[in-house]
Amino acid sequence: MELFEKLINYNTLLNNDANKELLEKYTEIIQAEYIHFIPAVRFDSALFLRLFAMLTKPRNILEIGFGSGVSSYFIAEQLYEVDNFVSLERDTARYERGKKIISQFNMNTVNLIHCDALEYLSNDDTMYDFIFIDAGKNDYTKYLHLIKDKLVTSGILICDNTFFNANVVKEESDIQKNHIKPTHSMKEFNTYLANLKCFNTSFFVVGDGMSLSIKI
Ligand SMILES: C[S@@+](CC[C@H](N)C(=O)[O-])C[C@H]1O[C@@H](n2cnc3c(N)ncnc32)[C@H](O)[C@@H]1O
């Protein structure tokens, strides 16, 4: 276990050293337009998203959970031909802040929509080739039901928080009380996703745990 933690730290140092400018941008976005508490993907997860966006060059992107705007920024950063990039955020303060962040950081391709994703996606028949889920943990399985037929064949699905602070491998007695329900939800979600026949999925020890699936 100690060796594993050392590896994680080593990996963090490698990432941070090799990507100083991106790390600065990451920090800048989080610190811009202060509001009380703003959640964001971790830096290595942001790099992971950027890498897979660069690899797959999606044109129709859906993000559930704009939060700080960091993940949108890193997905969009190297994409020069985007037809449709929709990011959903239900929190009003984060949405208002997000509008400013989008113009401040030239994220012109991102169409930030103030809504509840569950409602929005129930009435959306757009097809996407890249979907990123990073919103309420208790609802991941619901999001998955709503998006699985909206992803084109060979499209990419990435989900954050799949290991949820390592809670998914802890004894229940070691989990903070208010994390017990979301931990159950994430475990249920991971098992469901891993066994879904319309996706090939792998789980990665990146950030808070990330899954990467391809639609088959
Ligand atoms: C962990 S944060 C997203 C972080 C973001 N990806 C980033 O890198 O900055 C999750 C966000 O999802 C939003 N959210 C949660 N449930 C939602 C829903 N049903 N519809 C829309 N947004 C939702 C929350 O308000 C929160 O801002």
Quick check: 55 pLDDT over 70?
yes
Buried/exposed 24-56: b ≥16 CB within 10 Å, e otherwise: ebbeebbeebeeeebebbbbbbbbbbbebbeee
* Mean pLDDT, range 159-168, rounded to an integer: 97
What tens digit of pLDDT does each residue of 134-155 get? 999 999 999 999 999 999 999 9
The residue behind tokens 């399985």 is 141
- Is 80 exceeded by the pLDDT of residue 1? no
Q: What is the pLDDT, as a whole number, of residue 13? A: 93
d(CA 178, CA 120) in angstroms, rounded, equals: 27
pLDDT-derived band of residue 121, with 50, 70 and 90 as boundaries? Answer: very high
The atom number, within ligand 1, closest to the CA of 46 reads 8
pLDDT tens for 70-91 read 999 999 999 999 999 999 999 9
Dig out the tokens for 24 from the structure. Answer: 């600065």
- What letter does residue 133 receive in the DSSP assignment? E
pLDDT of residue 159: 98
Is 203's pLDDT higher than 70?
Answer: yes
> What's the CA gap between 186 and 109, in Å, rounded?
31
- The pLDDT of 170-192, averaged and rounded, is 96
For the chain, list the domains and their CATH numbers: 2-215 (3.40.50.150)
Residue of minimum CA distance from atom 14 in ligand 1: 135
Q: What is the share, in percent, of the chain residues with pLDDT greater than 90?
A: 97
Q: Work out which ligand 1 atom sits closest to the CA atom of 69.
A: 9
Q: Tell me which residue has tokens 């060979």.
A: 154
Do 199 and 193 contact (CB within 8 A), yes or no?
yes
Pocket of ligand 1 (CB under 6 A): 39-41, 65, 67-71, 88-91, 94, 116-118, 134-136, 139
Is the sign of the CA dihedral 43, 46, 52, 53 positive or negative?
A: negative
126: nearest Cα among 63, 55, 70? 63
Average pLDDT over residues 5-17: 92
Q: Rounded mean pLDDT of 155-181? A: 96
* Mean pLDDT on 146-166: 97
What does the pLDDT average to over 18-22? 95
* Mean pLDDT, rounded, for 88-111: 98
Are 190 and 168 a contacting pair, CB within 8 Å? yes
Q: Whose CA is nearest to atom 27 of ligand 1?
A: 67
Report the atom number in ligand 1 closest to the C-alpha of 41: 8
Å from CA of 40 to ligand 1 middle: 9
Most informative mutation of 25, 77, 89 for ligand 1 (most atoms within 8 A of CB): 89
Check residue 138 and give its pLDDT: 96
CA nearest to 139, candidates 37, 64, 45? 64
The secondary structure of 134-159 as a DSSP string is -S-GGGHHHHHHHHTTTEEEEEEEEE
Cα(95)–Cα(81) distance, integer angstroms: 25
Average pLDDT over residues 114-140: 97
Q: How far, in Å, is the centroid of ligand 1 from the Cα of 159?
A: 12
pLDDT reported for residue 99:
98
CA gap 191, 203 in Å, rounded: 11
